[in-house]
Structure 1
Amino acid sequence: MELNQYLSMFIDESREHLQALNDNMLKLEASPEDIAIVQTIFRSAHTLKGMSATMGFEDLASLTHEMENVLDLVRNHKLAMNPFIFDTIFKSLDSLEAMVEDIINGGTGKADVSPIVAVLKSIVTGDYEKAVPSAAAAPAAASGEAELDEFQYSILSQSVEAGLQVYRIEVSVQATCVLKAARAYMVFNVLEQNGEVVKSNPSVEDIEKEKFDTTFSVYLVSETGREELERQLGNISEIEKVTAEKMDEDGLKRGLEKKQPAAAVQQEAAAARNEVAPAAARAEAAAPKAAGGGTAVASRTIRVDIERLDVLMNLFSELLIDRVRLEQLASEVRRNDLTETVEHMARVSSDLQNIVLKLRMVPIDNVFNRFPRMVRDLAKSLDKKLDLVIVGADTELDRTVIDEIGDPLVHLLRNSVDHGIETIPERLAAGKAETGTVHLRAFHSGNHVFIEIEDDGKGIDRDKVLGIALKRGVVTPEQAKTLADEEVYMLLFAAGFSTADKISDISGRGVGLDVVKTKIESLGGSVQVSSRLGAGTKFSVQLPLTLSIISAMLVRLGSEKYAIPLSSIVETAVIRKEQIRDVHGNRLMEFRSSIIPLLSLSKLFEVPDFSEADEAETEIVVIRKGDKLAALMVDEFIGQQEIVLKTLGKYLTNLFAISGATILGDGQVALIIDTNALIK
């Protein structure tokens, strides 16, 4: 049977089952007694095992089979779930994901799964409870490879004879570290300043590609003392542990010896008892290497350069301008055959427009679906309880923004979990539920997408932030007196700013937040912070849709035309002057049993040839940003239209409440109103 034709189907279904397994394991962890969830997990694992065995991926099948054995005992009430079993199954899922990724990249899906299989078998037999701690295996031990070859041994041996110090340095990166390769680069930078690296295990190339778990080792020739080396490396952020061992001739000879894989398996099985249970989120699935010259999987999708999609969008937007012009001419000429042709062209171009737009749009769920597991692991490692509530995961965003927004959101979420949510004793002392809540929301407003991360933690201490800012010289005492609360909170985004009493490698206000702000602004977005001390903090990220074409309501103000994005309009209406109230110089109106502010666009944009004073009644557009409403006064409604969003170039920047411009069918230019800037 030719299996290659089924490979793309296998990959798609494997990804779905792995995502389902992760999601259901998180649900089971919240309700360990719910056997119905265990049944669902068992079925997913059973299906994945059958698919893997049919396709010939034996390592995948064998690991899933051992998972099945554990789950079978649980669903038959012969085994109770506990933190160790949860973490072991999560670790198994990480290994399965790594093997599926290897298959996608053209590999064979082979990996050394014997250590994790040994742990799963020990759970089935109950021996895992009797496991005795043993020394952690060296990184090379499981592979059965010698750490040094003859040439490297010769160099190091001669260095020892010449009176130089040779160290074997083992570095452990925190399991929660997002950019392992970047931390490894910083480690090598420090090492090269102190001596010469002779050997790295894994290789430098593999480390650069993040093809290592959380630990790597190097052989270094140096004149620096052992304590000083450990101190310098230990100062690097997100480095969990550094061990420098001074090597002699006997130690170097041991590096020449091949390690016994069987011993490594025993060590790994015993060490798993100590590694998996206490420290959550140790995603130690070794990235499997392709054993043969496999070819990439044939797929029904193709990769297209984003620039080509930009060109396609620009060409179509020009076509749209011509379509609007043709519709206007057809209405003036009034010939039936011309009108019919233009109407048909409008229908076809509308369908084409939808396809062109969808080519670039991706649900933000692609980014959000990795957060529940990450938050679960972080909370466990910090000994906190919390729920992550996700709303609006189906919100679509431009592909270029989706690719870039993941890391900033990871920083903000880690920040909320680490600094926002209190520990269980602190929450109980404050009269709160012991389980904290982090809300992750996404929604459209105008031609922007908003992503909010809100926690019910301890909030931001305004005076503490201001005190540190004054101490660091970020603001002057005179400036500090005039700053509003929101402006004080924005000081958190200053480079190197931190409010932490104890430096944390999981996050750090300042260590990561300045990077977050820079990245979001590079995408054309912005970030705001609101907080109440003792009640929680909300980070609000505003991102452009970066769409070239949007639906808008065209309005007239005197001789000028403006466009308001339809996605932010609640409704349009006409109100009489007596319905407008004046309170402390602010105009207000009643709307659906609530009072909302009323803004005059003509005054806001200083329209010269239009005055509202002469009118007995006025047209209004009610707009929305999140749960806030406002009304805009306009002169006249022109109508709904598909418009092409054009930037205003480099000369007209930072214009208040204007997000771009469009060219209308008659050649006139209409400015597009950024309604989000009008609602604070």
Structure 2
Amino acid sequence: MSGPDLSGFSMLDLFRAELETQSQALTEGLLALERNPVAADHLEAAMRAAHSLKGAARIIELEPAVRVAHAMEECLVAAQRGRLRLGQEAIDALLKGVDLLALVASDGPNGGAAAEPAVARFLATLDRVLHGTQEAASTAGEMPPPAAPFEPPPAEPAMRTEPGDAVHGGGGSERMVRITAEAMNRLLGLAGESLMEARRLRPFLDRLTRLTRQHAALAKAFDELRAVLPPNPEEEVADALVRVQDRLGASHDALAERLAELDALDLRASDLANRLYAETLESRMGPFEDGVRHYARTIRDLGRTLGKRVRLDIVGGSTGIDRDILEQLDAPLGHLLRNAVDHAIELPDERAFAGKPVEGVIRVEARHSAGLLQILVSDDGRGIDTAQLRRVILARGLTTPETAAQLSEAELLEFLFLPGFSLKETVSDISGRGVGLDAVQAMTRAVRGQVSISSTAGIGTTFQLELPLTLSVMRTLLVEVANEPYAFPLAGIAHTLRLPRTDIAQLEGRSHFRFGERQIGLIACHEILERGEPKADQSELAVIVIGDGEGSYGVVVDRFLGERELVVRPLDARLGKIKDISAAALLDDGAPVLIIDVEDMLRSAEKLSASGRLRALNRTSAAVGARARKRVLVVDDSLTVRELERKLLAHHGYEVEVAVDGMDGWNAVRSEPFDLVVTDVDMPRMDGIELLTLIKRDARLGVLPVMIVSYKDREEDRRRGLDAGADYYLTKGSFHDDALVGAVADLIGTAYE
């Protein structure tokens, strides 16, 4: 049976990979032995890890590591044989040995031979621990049993995968393929695109199904036609009817057969794309425990520094989490855990007086809930003194005494997330500098999550982080702004509502509305994105509330398009940071959509508000004061024809815009709303047929009526225009004023209907 392909790695690389695995086993075993020094299973696991590292270091001739590992093994064997009880000093020394092994194997300036002085000091410390305890035992009349050397076979070096590596096994063998995180992201993006492309089959299938129903209606109409014919039609007519009926039946059967084949293809393609995407996404996932288990040692050492006994419990360690999120969570989790040790966990005497175990417990739990990843960091410490918190808020002038007295406990706790805020009166290397919880909130929001806090005095404190399962897929609310779709991440939305214009209030020249007990500023998304004006003929506004507390804003969009789950595609790095935009995605029909950066949009709203340049929103719809006029776009490269049509339609009440060719017209219809497009055929850059084709293929513009007005009056020219999707074909050579206006009215009605 073939083993892993390790040919691309040096022997030192292999040792470092094994060191990472075995060091973790050593650390976990030693932390467990600190609580129960005679636990046989933990003694055995720690001793085997030290022995394996000694053998591996000897193979690569890393002599300092051999001596360190051998001394650790001797100490653990002595504990197994009863010659040594692993007290606090012994555990401290052995944990330092774990750190020293990493230093010896490193390429840094203190690694390798340069670590020799540290090795000598460690060996002297461990020798004192080992022999000092043995001498004390002998003095007490105890005879140490003979030590039989323990020589298990050396463990085979295990290869650690780097971030972005993928490991595949099959048939009992394991093969490693190195792949960069960037390549994995591209692969996931392609898998997401394949998923979107597979979903495009369903709308096409639905259209064919409607066509089948239309075919059935045609067959029914044919039967009705036969029913009204004379009983004995002429032989030629009867034969023609039979042929038509046969062809209708055959075409219906063929269409039904192709439809069934396409339906099966849709199912297979969707299943394959979903499995491909799920497998690719799974390759980015890792167990939550991988990112937090190293904190067990950190918590223990920090507690020792502060004179506290504390341990870390990990619950739900196997819960899957995106490795990118896991990496970005490292810093905020570190803040929360250090704060828990320093602020929350009491000293042993204080805990004993309160009737608690002298050892404090910090618990980190991960679980999936409602499509999100929930991480809870809790402790059994003293809890947060809300009375003290209220006093600190007042002392810093963060609110008035009247307001502070009315704040609920949840509202008080929110002040802990303010930059520079701390309840700690003294400053230390661990905490008290006011840096931590604001960073936790910022980093959590950076991965589209949110954090909340709850606390009970004397019982403990819990922080709850709600995060997406992956950064590659985002649940969003699609909206329309100036006839373009945009996506708001659901995690960044506090509320959505339809706001009657009559509920808009003007305060100091700015638009507001009452939301619960608060007044919230109202701003048009069009103004932030510099995309024209919101629709003035709507009696209700579609509003998205973003932000928290006093920093909330109601963002007005043209309309809600519904929730979508989008595969996030990062923007090209050469574009730099685009204001108010975080990324992009593709909709089911393949159309691109920009994803809003909610935090950036909040900052933009703040800047506009501070500058005094915010435009007020009207309390009444434009339709109340005046009837909205139908808008027509005239596209023609002839100035004379263009102006003639503009004046004629404007005279009859229509609002008319003009474009000089097809390209100009295409840009116009994508940026502004129109009720009708009137276009010539022969034009530079883009002719009328191309413009017509683009409009009819567009998912949003496909229902927009298009009229062709052309000098080409041949039947094939007319058929070409109608086949391309034109709703009306009028020739310039024969049209007069009434003909053009009548055709426009036939398509969209009069100017004010």
Instruction: State TM-score, norm by structure 1.
Output: 0.54
**What is the rounded CA distance, in whole Å, between the counterparts of 1:330 and 1:511 in structure 2?**
56
**Equivalent residue for 1:124?**
130
Q: Give the greater-gyration-radius structure (CA).
A: 2
Structure 1 residue 381: Cα displacement: 2.0
| Match among 75, 78, 99 for residue 104 of structure 2 | 99
Q: Aligned residue for 2:76?
A: 71
8 Å CA contact 1:365, 1:394 repeated in 2: yes
- From 321, 333, 338, the equivalent of 1:409 is 333
One-letter amino acid matched to 2:397: G
Q: What per-residue deviation string (whole Å, max 9, x for no partner) do you get for residues 406-436 of structure 1?
A: 1211111111111111112222222223222
Matched, 1:496 2:420: yes
Q: Which amino acid aligns with 1:111?
A: A
Residues 449-497 of structure 1, C-alpha deviation per residue, up to 9 Å, x if partnerless?
A: 2221111111111111111111111222233133221111121222322
Within 1, Cα distance between the matches of 2:78 and 2:322?
46
Matched to 1:529, the amino acid is I
User: What is the percentage of aligned positions where both structures have the same residue?
Assistant: 32
Shift of 1:650: 8.9
Aligned to 1:499, what secondary structure does the other structure show? coil
Partner Cα distance (2:356, 2:61) in 1:
53
Residue identity in the other structure for 1:118: A
Aligned partner (choices 371, 378, 391) of residue 454 of structure 1: 378
* Structure-2 residue corresponding to 1:165: none
Partner of 2:115: 111
Cα distance in structure 2, aligned partners of 1:4 and 1:462: 56
CA distance, structure 2, for counterparts of residue 106 and residue 361 of structure 1: 35
1:320 aligned partner: 195
Which deviates the most, 538-547 or 457-466?
Answer: 538-547
- Higher relative contact order (CA closer than 8 Å, sequence separation 6+): 1
Unpaired runs of 5+ in structure 2?
1-6, 137-174, 210-255, 477-486, 491-539, 541-562, 571-576, 597-753
Query: Are the counterparts in 2 of residues 102 and 109 from structure 1 also a CA contact under 8 Å?
Result: no
Task: Return closer, same or farther for 1:499/1:44 CA change in 2, 3 Å cut-off.
Answer: same
For residues 602-631 of structure 1, the C-alpha deviation after alignment (integer angstroms, 9 at most, x for no partner) is xxxxxx9xxxxxxxxxxxxxxxxxxxxxxx
Question: 1-side partners of 2:469 and 2:41: how far apart?
Answer: 41
Q: CA contact under 8 A between 1:320 and 1:644: conserved in structure 2?
A: no
Question: How has the CA–CA distance of structure 1 residues 402 and 418 changed in structure 2, closer, same or farther, with 3 Å as cutoff?
Answer: same
Aligned counterparts of 1:405 and 1:120: Cα–Cα separation in 2 = 36
Paired with 2:405 and 2:448, the residues of 1 have a C-alpha distance of 31
Work out whether residues 57 and 110 of structure 1, in 8 Å CA contact, stay in contact via their aligned partners in 2.
Answer: no
For residue 20 of structure 1, report the CA deviation from its aligned partner.
Answer: 0.5
Contact 1:499 1:509 in 2 (8 A): no
1:170-569 map, 5 Å: 300=176, 302=178, 304=180, 306=182, 309-330=184-205, 332=208, 335=258, 336-508=260-432, 510-549=434-473
* Structure-2-length-normalised TM-score: 0.49
How far 1:3 sits from its partner (Å)?
11
For residues 129 and 396 of structure 1, the distance between their equivalents in structure 2, rounded to whole angstroms, comes to 50
Out of 12, 16, 28, the residue aligned to residue 23 of structure 1 is 28
Q: Larger deviation: 432-441 or 310-319?
A: 310-319
Q: 1:361 to 1:480 in 2, by over 3 A?
A: same
Structure 2 partner of 1:32: 37
Distance 2:201 2:133 in 1: 79
Aligned equivalent of 1:230: none
Indicate the residue corresponding to 2:95 in structure 1.
90
C-alpha change, 1:643 and 1:411, in structure 2 (3 Å) is closer
Helix, strand or coil at the partner of 1:111: helix
- Unpaired runs of 5+ in structure 1? 131-298, 553-561, 566-607, 609-639, 673-680
Mapped to 2, the partners of 1:469 and 1:456 lie a distance apart of 25
Residue 617 of structure 2 corresponds to which residue in structure 1?
Answer: none
1:42 to 47, 50, 53: 47
Report deviation, 1:663: 3.5
| C-alpha distance in 1 between matches for 2:274 and 2:21 | 33
CA–CA separation in structure 2 for the residues paired with 1:106 and 1:353: 45
Q: 1:108 to 1:342 in 2, by over 3 A?
A: farther
Cα 1:644–1:73, aligned 2, differ >3 Å: closer, same or farther? closer
Tell me how far apart the structure 2 counterparts of residues 20 and 450 of structure 1 sit (CA, whole Å).
27
1:30 maps to a residue whose letter is R
Q: Assess, with a 3 A threshold, how the Cα gap between structure 1 residues 548 and 82 changes in structure 2: closer, same or farther.
A: closer
Cα distance, 1:468–1:641 mapped onto 2, change above 3 Å: closer
User: Size of the alignment, in residue pairs?
Assistant: 423
> Residue 362 of structure 1 contacts residue 397 of structure 1 at CA under 8 Å; is this kept in 2?
yes
Quote the Cα distance in structure 2 between the aligned partners of 1:351 and 1:316. Answer: 9
**The residue matched to 1:475 in structure 2 has which SS?**
coil
1:194 match: none
2-structure distance, mates of 1:457, 1:421? 4
**Distance apart, 1:668 and its partner CA:** 13
Contact 1:415 1:509 in 2 (8 A): no
Q: Residue 193 of structure 2 aligns to which amino acid in structure 1?
A: E
> What amino acid maps onto 1:15 in structure 2?
E
- Tell me the SS of whatever aligns to 2:432: coil
- After TM superposition, list the pairs within 5 Å mapping 1:1-16 onto structure 2: 9-16=14-21
Deviation at 1:543, TM superposition (A): 2.5
Query: Given the superposition, is the C-alpha separation of residues 316 and 303 from structure 1 closer, same or farther in structure 2, using an over 3 Å criterion?
Result: closer
Distance 2:473 2:77 in 1: 53
Amino acid at match of 1:325: R
Q: Distance in 2 between matches of 1:549 and 1:519?
A: 18
Whichever residue aligns with residue 506 of structure 1, its letter is: I
CA drift at 1:515: 2.7
Determine helix, strand or coil for the equivalent of 1:450. Answer: strand
Q: CA RMSD in A?
A: 4.5
Structure 2 CA distance for aligned equivalents of residues 373 and 349 of structure 1: 43
Provide the C-alpha distance between the structure 1 equivalents of 2:293 and 2:106, rounded to a whole number of angstroms.
17
Return the alpha-carbon distance in structure 2 between the equivalents of residues 512 and 526 of structure 1. 15
AA at the equivalent of 1:122: R
What is the SS of the residue equivalent to 2:329?
A: helix
**Displacement of 1:510 after TM fit?**
2.3
The 1:662/1:392 distance shift into structure 2, 3 A limit, reads farther
- In the other structure, the counterpart of 1:59 is 64
Structure 1 position 128, deviation (Å): 11
Work out the CA distance in 1 between the residues paired with 2:396 and 2:565: 51
